[in-house]
Amino acid sequence: MSEFIDLYDQNRKLLNREVDRTTYLFQPGEFMMYVLAILENSQGEFLVTQRAFNKKWAAGNWEMPGGGAKSKESSLDAIKREVKEETGLDVKNGGVVYSYFNEDNDRHDNYFVDIYHFKFDFDLNDVQLNTCESINCKCVTLDELISMNQEQSFLHYERIMKALQQEK
């Protein structure tokens, strides 16, 4: 199934080109946009999800909700959609707290990531997992998140920690 995305240059400017994410090989200086959401409840716990085992990359690993921005979709619209699709939660009040980019021309894996932080009142009963995306979820404290990464690599862990530290 095709999923069309926009291409950006290294300065995050649109190249006015739309490509199929599933088949396109990124060339040097071409990037796509990813978004991640740090979802923090009123108890100061973070929602983490476990990737479905049928995922092409990092199947079964724990992560924060997020994914790729679709063509013509802003970063903010993408994170709202991704969180809703994966968890059933609506996010409103929050913003980008950290951004980074990756350029791996050997693997054609070039992307930007915007990490958002949303603080709102929710608990696990409010979460409706999309089992095509995630097979499990839980709310964890910061110490538990650190322990999870020590037991098994937590996706984007270092960048998430940088995002949280930047807010202090």
pLDDT tens digits for 46-103? Answer: 999 999 998 888 889 999 999 999 999 999 999 999 999 999 999 988 899 999 999 9
Looking at residue 168, its pLDDT comes to: 66
Looking at residue 140, its pLDDT comes to: 98
DSSP codes joined into one string, 3-38? -EEEEE-TTS-EEEEEEETTT--PPTT-BEEEEEEE
**152: its two tokens:** 């098994």
Looking at residue 67, its pLDDT comes to: 93
Q: What sign does the CA torsion over 114, 115, 116, 121 have? A: positive
Contact by Cβ (8 Å): 34, 21? no
Looking at residue 18, its pLDDT comes to: 94
Residue type, 97: V
Looking at residue 166, its pLDDT comes to: 86
**Which of 8-12, 26-30, 54-58, 66-70 bottoms out in mean pLDDT, i.e. has the lowest?**
54-58
Contact by Cβ (8 Å): 138, 59? no
Position 1 pLDDT exceeds 80: no
Q: How many CB atoms lie within 10 A of CB 149?
A: 16
pLDDT per position as a tens digit, 112-152: 999 999 999 999 999 999 999 999 999 999 999 999 999 98
Looking at residue 122, its pLDDT comes to: 97
- Using CA atoms, how far residue 128 sits from 15, 49, 142, in Å, is 36, 11, 23
Beta strands in 93-154 (DSSP E): 94-104, 109-119, 134-140
> Across-strand partners of 62?
50
CA angle 23, 29, 35 (to 5 degrees): 65
What is the arithmetic mean of pLDDT over 144-165?
Answer: 94
